[in-house]
Amino acid sequence: MKRQTLILIGILLITIFTRVVGLNWDSGAHLHPDERFLTMVVSSMKMPLSVQEYLDPSISPMNPTNLHFPFFVYGTFPLSFTHVISQILGMSDYMGVLLVGRAISAILDTLIAIGVYLLAKQLFGAKSVQAPIWAVLAYTLTVFAIQQAHFFTVDIFATAGMFWAIIVALWYVHKPRLHLAFLTSLFIALGIASKITSILLVPLISIFFLIAVCSHKKRKREIGLHAILSSLLVIIVVRIANPYYFAHLSWLDWTVNPSFQSSLAQLQLLSTSDAAFPPAVQWITKPPILFPLQQIIMAGCGVVLSCLFVWGVLSIVMYESWSKKSANFGAECSSLLGLFFFYLLWHTVCQDHALPIRLVSTHGHRCRIWGCSMGTSKMEKGVIMWPSLYLAWCFSLYLHGASFTRSGITVDCREYPCWSEGEL
């Protein structure tokens, strides 16, 4: 077995450990508000008696609106999937659903880590043999990733779907095949069925199809047909994975569910400075862009990894994007970077005081790949030759990630939720 394969296996074992350890981190106190709400919804669900009953928003026992949860802005695919797994495992009670949901999140984030390796390998190929290893190591020890993997929320489902859609779309750019186009559509659809904001990924995937047309001009008609069929598949899968986005059972009626529209409108109002309820007032005095960036740099990623991210961005802009020999590489990386900064601006400007930390953290690993990858690429070329940088980076990542992981297994941190619950 190759040395690189052994190193990758070791890193993935660390990934699994950091995601699974402390699964019951709050000792059953249910401290995460979104997680608590989703657990309540899933534990109230019942298995439908037929496919028609499942697809009918008005009577489905898996539609949150029918379960006395009229305000619901999430996608239902993560909840339906968790409910089915909980039933299979015989853990359909409130606490069982919570632990099953967290375990699924840990598995999905491990799959994202594998995707980070594959994406770095796809982007850089033979340019840097070590780049994919450093990329997956950086993601494995990033606090944001470890944190999100311990929550049963829809974000990890949406991120996994969108991230793997990007990976498969990049494969399609280099080798246009119908099954890759369909697989991309499947991941996009599941992401949209998990969280409606995942639809913002569609323009990026469209750009990848355009890149494929430019790279394979003789097959442009075939690629165009693939794009049309893939679009139809996205619509079909979304309708099946989350039929409650729509108002009626009929596939001829694509009216958006009024309850879902009302929930989104209410959420938009709660995201403005006029919202005077506890979760919102704390952000009123915070600068929309600088404060989230500060939290990302100082807490979520750490200073070292954030600096490498900036280094990677500058390397792409100054070297690869301007190179005529790597036009596709520059277009692909520029598209992904554009998506990152678009999410940052959209969640700070359009949603007023709402923090984009969660979305930026879950999508930010796409850019962190380039930070470490371009860094190792330059090191291999001899620009920087100090081996101590490798050791310093590994040590800093370890301390930053391990310090957060420790909070889920130490006694003092696990006693706090019980004390908090008793005091309240």
Question: Per-residue pLDDT for 187 more than 90?
Answer: yes
Residue 273 lies in a domain: no
Sign of torsion over alpha carbons 216, 221, 226, 231: positive
DSSP 324: G
Sign of torsion over alpha carbons 31, 414, 16, 117: positive
Residue 12 lies in a domain: no
Q: Range of 49's domain?
A: 27-257+284-418
Cα distance between residue 54 and residue 178, in whole Å: 30
If you compute the radius of gyration of the chain from its CA atoms, what whole number of angstroms results? 22
Residue 194 lies in a domain: yes
**384-416 confidence digits (pLDDT tens):** 333 334 444 454 554 545 445 555 555 444 454
- Are residues 78 and 194 in contact, defined by beta-carbon separation less than 8 angstroms? yes
How much is the pLDDT for 333? 62
Residue 272 lies in a domain: no
* Number of other CB atoms surrounding residue 27 within 10 Å: 14
Residue 288 lies in a domain: yes
Where does residue 116 rank: exposed (0-12), middle (13-18), buried (19+ CB within 10 A)? buried
Residue 311 lies in a domain: yes
Cα distance between residue 106 and residue 45, in whole Å: 23
Instruction: Give residue for tokens 């298995």.
Output: 47
DSSP 70: -
Residue 2 lies in a domain: no
Copy the structure tokens of residue 121.
């390998």
Interacting residues of 138 by C-beta distance below 8 A, sequence separation 6+: 305, 308, 368, 369, 371, 372, 397
Which DSSP string corresponds to 221-267? HHHHHHHHHHHHHHHHHHHHH-GGGBS-S-TT--PBPHHHHHHHHHH
Interacting residues of 123 by C-beta distance below 8 A, sequence separation 6+: 170, 329, 332, 333, 369, 370, 373
**309-361 confidence digits (pLDDT tens):** 778 777 766 665 555 555 555 555 666 666 666 666 655 554 443 333 333 33
Copy the structure tokens of residue 13.
């074992």
**49-68 confidence digits (pLDDT tens):** 999 999 999 999 999 999 99
Copy the structure tokens of residue 154.
């829809």
Residue 264 lies in a domain: no
pTM score, whole prediction? 0.79
How much is the pLDDT for 419? 45
**170-180 confidence digits (pLDDT tens):** 999 999 999 99
Counting the structural domains of the chain, the total is 1
